[in-house]
Structure 1
């Protein structure tokens, strides 16, 4: 298995929500709908809460307010429309497919993870792990992110025609991989524990990699992952202070490539088109070989976590029954 996010199956579930009025703090306070179980194509005319430790599976549901996923809770939503933002607490999980989220998505410290497929949303934030046990993840496939991606923990993968209108910035992630993705802003990957891969993607702004362990791979034929093609970088690219190897192959860089203080020295293939030239240390070019990940276990772990949590969430929601609205 290569370093790739899961091919997670689309979940088909019916939504059930039990309405609960929270005691208002003022005359204008909104009602909050609690969702425990399964239910269908209804409109929730206010905010929605998945209570701590509970599971909610929604299909075709419209939510006119914000959504909160409490500690240890699961929300699986398919074909939904959410007008506001989604806030996910520690050990909380969000799985959104063919869904539109008007606001952003915020995964708290120690949040379990976020999986987005064929889904549009605002900015996505993954908070620092801190003292939490969970190391979060963000997997996005064919997602339209109208804003930024900011992550300070976990496994981060943008894949399969994902589009980000703003910057992508990660600091202290477990890894950050960008495959078949368009980033309209800058890309910055700092202090990743096991490195970063960018393949078949386009980044319009400046791209910066610094302080990463495990290596940086731009394009195919590196040591981290196998992929079909390199990418396009619209501004300067800088790869510095990297441990574990730097491979740059089959890319177009409309700026300068800087490779300094990397151990070992960066390998820059002759087939790159680099408008501003290369500054810094380089190793001798090596023969092109088919690369496969030498640490494939990291991907398998993330895939298994997402699949297990999704299956468990749906089973729990179905077992809770249909309480109606």
Structure 2
């Protein structure tokens, strides 16, 4: 996801100005390291806590316990390791680059977002939005999730060789897209406001797309986003009860493709290879790829949303650092 997040999100650590690491006891007399500002290649022998509304940028840091990012906090970790889990509260933000999190990563309802680049984590969970006003995001680039990905809100994009070793389950997101990535389990995208795009990827298990309002695009030449190639599907693929259009182009499906109750009916190109055939309603197959022209680039639209979030985060981090100089 070159335009959407890389250059923009990677610069947060450069604007966190102060360096303040403090240690405070909890009610259980265990030590918790409070991080405000920056930290380097040290080992934190306990849990780490980013206070509400504060920013913490760590480079080469090892944390032997769990990490908590309080409401409105920002945590940027580069080249680090967390032995436990990471929990991010409402309006909190986690940026992990070239970093390993042995435990799970959880973004609370109304969390600002999670950005993973060249990272490895356990299960990743984004809680449903509920009554929160903030739309979350999960962007993963060239990262490995050694567990499930379960998302209930916001924008989701798995990209550039990201691997999910279990299942991907998305319900009620703004969109859920998978580009050039691998899902070793099942893929489920339900009730997405602007639908789902899957391109150049492989999904080993069954894939289910249902109730998506903005359409479903599997492969190139659809109306949601631009991409170069279709995907490999290791089991049945089902696209049902979808509005906004369904296009299936240049895919290999080692199972049955089911397309029912979609409005309009699905466009299934003749160049798909579908071992179990197609069931349901579909438009006449065509090899005329130019007949389906992609609409505005979905990634560019995401760039604009990320830029708004990025600008806000940079301003908050700068102000927090400057106050400690």
Query: In which range does the TM-score fall when normalised by the shorter chain?
Result: over 0.9
- Once residues 63 and 308 of structure 2 are traced to their aligned partners in structure 1, the CA distance between those partners, rounded to angstroms, is 27
Shift of 1:319: 3.0
Deviations 1:242-289 (A, max 9, x none): 000000000000000000000000000000000000000001235213
| Aligned position for 1:303 | 306
Shift of 1:127: 0.2
Distance 1:4 1:197, change over 3 A: farther
Matched, 1:240 2:248: no
Give matches, 1:204-219, under 5 Å.
204-219=204-219
State which drifts further: 211-220 or 299-308: 299-308
| Aligned position for 1:292 | 294
| Aligned position for 1:165 | 165
Aligned partners of 2:225 and 2:297 also within 8 Å: no
| Aligned position for 1:175 | 175
| Aligned position for 1:270 | 270
Aligned partners of 1:37 and 1:316 also within 8 Å: no
| Aligned position for 2:5 | 6
| Aligned position for 2:155 | 155
Shift of 1:299: 1.4
Aligned partners of 1:56 and 1:313 also within 8 Å: no
Aligned partners of 1:75 and 1:313 also within 8 Å: no
Structure 2 counterpart SS, 1:311: helix
Matched, 1:129 2:132: no
Deviations 1:190-234 (A, max 9, x none): 000000000000000000000001100000000001100000000
Deviations 1:62-112 (A, max 9, x none): 110000000001011111111111000000001111111111110000000
Q: Please provide the CA RMSD for this pair.
A: 2.1
Deviations 1:16-64 (A, max 9, x none): 3422222433xxx421000001121111100000000001111111110
- Once residues 208 and 162 of structure 1 are traced to their aligned partners in structure 2, the CA distance between those partners, rounded to angstroms, is 20
Aligned partners of 2:226 and 2:297 also within 8 Å: no
Aligned partners of 2:26 and 2:32 also within 8 Å: no
Shift of 1:126: 0.4
Aligned partners of 1:226 and 1:291 also within 8 Å: no
Aligned partners of 1:246 and 1:267 also within 8 Å: yes
- Once residues 294 and 133 of structure 1 are traced to their aligned partners in structure 2, the CA distance between those partners, rounded to angstroms, is 26
Structure 2 counterpart SS, 1:6: helix
Shift of 1:7: 3.2
Shift of 1:315: 2.9
Deviations 1:281-300 (A, max 9, x none): 00123521374334747413
TM-score (norm 1): 0.92
Higher relative contact order (CA 8 A, sep 6+): 1
- Once residues 320 and 148 of structure 1 are traced to their aligned partners in structure 2, the CA distance between those partners, rounded to angstroms, is 40
Distance 1:3 1:79, change over 3 A: closer
State which drifts further: 299-308 or 178-187: 299-308
Distance 1:116 1:133, change over 3 A: same
Shift of 1:308: 2.1
| Aligned position for 1:117 | 117
- Once residues 172 and 3 of structure 2 are traced to their aligned partners in structure 1, the CA distance between those partners, rounded to angstroms, is 19
5+ residue gaps, structure 1? none
- Once residues 146 and 117 of structure 2 are traced to their aligned partners in structure 1, the CA distance between those partners, rounded to angstroms, is 15
- Once residues 181 and 313 of structure 1 are traced to their aligned partners in structure 2, the CA distance between those partners, rounded to angstroms, is 33
Alignment size in residue pairs: 318
Structure 2 counterpart SS, 1:223: coil
| Aligned position for 2:199 | 199
Structure 2 counterpart SS, 1:238: strand
Structure 1 counterpart SS, 2:307: helix
More helix per residue: 2
